Amino acid sequence: MSGNGESQGQDSQTARTRNWRTATRLVRGGLQRSGFGETSEALYLTSGFRYDSAEAAEARFRNEAPGFVYSRFGNPTVATFEDRLAAIEGAEAAKAVASGMAAVNAALMCQLKAGDHVLAARALFGSCRYIIEDILPRFGIKTTLIDGADLDLWRSAIRPNTACIFLETPSNPTLEIVDLAAVAAIARSVGARVIVDNVFATPILQKPLELGADIVVYSATKHIDGQGRCLGGAILGRRDFIENTLTPYLRHTGPSLSPFNAWVMLKGLETLDLRIRQHCRNAAEIADFLAGLAPVERVIYPFRPDHPQQNLARAQMELGGAVVSFEVAGGKAGAFGCLNRLQLIDISNNLGDAKSLICHPGTTTHQRLPAEERHRLGIGDGLLRLSVGLEDLADLKEDLAQALAA
């Protein structure tokens, strides 16, 4: 655990963690019990830490002695969450932050400088596009957005000064797949770091670091919490990057994760594997069900045979994910009619929740984009994004059938 004492017990704990399989790491990774021997992870709701002497304070501030200093820099509950995430991802190190957007922003800003170039896939979460298109250029950073599915475009758009590549796969909301290994190879030719927003795939379904990516970011708000309670985010990668490039940026800019939220996320991780597998089973069945309903013109789900990149999706993801997107007849009016008739599934822009949530990306998450750019991304006026929850499939099917019957 970063910033804490390296006792004998901890060393053997780490050694054991290394051999555990994912489901065990999700439940026990990073766990360090206090002297009370509590079974559940302790919640250290404290902003500061006391020192036994003035000399001890001095040594800790000089980073010459282990231990926590201030919760903006590190906190035992947050560190447990970071260690557990790193163990699951197979990353050397991780830092947790207050939201997914704090993670995306910090992953980019901690390493970029004026004169750098950033290359990104066009199909991104709306706020990620805002950072790349609106914020970075204000600081003298050039950015290029391309169609992420076209490898020739990655090859032709990369420049000698490309410092970072940013992408999301599957993408939100059109579930486009980017070939991670191929893009990582292109990035290596100029020494660019590949940052993957792995929210839709989760650490259970896809391991970007094994495919050659350098940095993985998460919104823990989504599947990691999984029950719609807390915001959170994380950045994972090599120890040198996390400790020497990212950590100073986080320490001095302060997007810290609350220990309480870290504790909720730890409890979320314990059931992540179970939940994700059930989400995926439900989503795959709902996708096939929707495809058989008359008003549905198109269903997008990565593991369906009619997904144009099904083979790539199956090669780099274990299952198809929790999100199904579909286009209904009648454009915006058709889509709004369906939303307003739903009785069980909630209209909400969150995803990865135990509750099934549905939204109309064109007027919510992606409303900032001009209509032509939305259409270029395949976000039609009738497109709906459904995050399939953990309810009984028969109830979900009944609700969708009646909402789409009119």
Provide, rounded to whole angstroms, the least separation between the CB of residue 92 and ligand PLP: 23
Q: Residues 200-225, buried b or exposed e (16+ Cβ, 10 A)? A: bbbbbbbbbbebbbbbbbbbbbbbbb
Provide, rounded to whole angstroms, the least separation between the CB of residue 315 and ligand PLP: 21
Closest CB to ligand PLP among 1 and 102? 102
Closest CB to ligand PLP among 195 and 400? 195
Q: Which stretch binds ligand PLP (CB under 6 A): 11-19, 30-38, 194-202, 287-295?
A: 194-202
Closest CB to ligand PLP among 2 and 387? 387
Helix (H, G, I), strand (E, B) or coil at 126: helix
**Sole residue written with tokens 């970075």:** 136
DSSP designation for 160: T
DSSP lists the bridge partners of residue 346 as: 357
Provide, rounded to whole angstroms, the least separation between the CB of residue 124 and ligand PLP: 7
* Residue at 393: amino acid letter: L
| Sole binder of ligand PLP in the list 143, 221, 356, 387 (CB under 6 A) | 221
Q: Which stretch binds ligand PLP (CB under 6 A): 138-146, 148-156, 215-223, 371-379?
A: 215-223
Provide, rounded to whole angstroms, the least separation between the CB of residue 351 and ligand PLP: 6
| Sole binder of ligand PLP in the list 77, 219, 247, 282 (CB under 6 A) | 219
- Binding to ligand PLP in span 306-365, by CB under 6 A: none
Provide, rounded to whole angstroms, the least separation between the CB of residue 226 and ligand PLP: 13
Tell me: does residue 299 bind ligand PLP (CB under 6 A): no
Closest CB to ligand PLP among 116 and 197? 197
Closest CB to ligand PLP among 196 and 296? 196
* Residue at 34: amino acid letter: S
Q: How far, in whole angstroms, is CA 307 from its chain's centroid?
A: 22
**Sole residue written with tokens 């997007």:** 255
Provide the token pair at 373. Answer: 């750019």
- Show the beta-strand stretches assigned E in 151-250: 162-168, 193-197, 215-219, 233-237
Spatial separation of the C-alpha atoms in residues 73 and 256, rounded to whole Å: 8
Provide, rounded to whole angstroms, the least separation between the CB of residue 128 and ligand PLP: 6
Q: Are 186 and 170 in contact (CB under 8 A)?
A: no
Spatial separation of the C-alpha atoms in residues 89 and 234, rounded to whole Å: 11
Q: Which residues contact 50 (CB under 8 A, 6 or more apart)?
A: none
Provide, rounded to whole angstroms, the least separation between the CB of residue 346 and ligand PLP: 16
Provide, rounded to whole angstroms, the least separation between the CB of residue 161 and ligand PLP: 26
Provide the token pair at 380. Answer: 């039609």
Provide, rounded to whole angstroms, the least separation between the CB of residue 240 and ligand PLP: 25
Task: Sketch the per residue contact string, 159 through 188, with ligand PLP: x for CB under 6 A, - otherwise.
Answer: ---------x---x----------------
Provide, rounded to whole angstroms, the least separation between the CB of residue 365 and ligand PLP: 9
Q: Which helix (H) or strand (E) holds 338?
A: helix 331-341
| Sole binder of ligand PLP in the list 125, 241, 326, 336 (CB under 6 A) | 125
Q: Which stretch binds ligand PLP (CB under 6 A): 74-82, 184-192, 197-205, 300-308?
A: 197-205
Q: Which residues contact 210 (CB under 8 A, 6 or more apart)?
A: 90
* Residue at 28: amino acid letter: R
Q: Are 242 and 110 in contact (CB under 8 A)?
A: no
Number of residues that bind ligand PLP (CB under 6 A): 16
Closest CB to ligand PLP among 77 and 221? 221
| Sole binder of ligand PLP in the list 199, 234, 296, 359 (CB under 6 A) | 199
- Binding to ligand PLP in span 73-102, by CB under 6 A: 99-101
Residue nearest to ligand PLP (CB): 100
Nearest CA to 73 among 259, 302, 317?
259
* Sheet with 162-168, side-by-side order of all strands: 93-97, 233-237, 215-219, 193-197, 162-168, 117-121, 142-146
Half-sphere exposure of 25 (CA within 13 A, CB side): 22
Provide, rounded to whole angstroms, the least separation between the CB of residue 125 and ligand PLP: 4
Which residues are at the interface with ligand PLP (CB under 6 A)?
99-101, 104, 125, 128, 168, 172, 197, 199-200, 219, 221-222, 231, 233
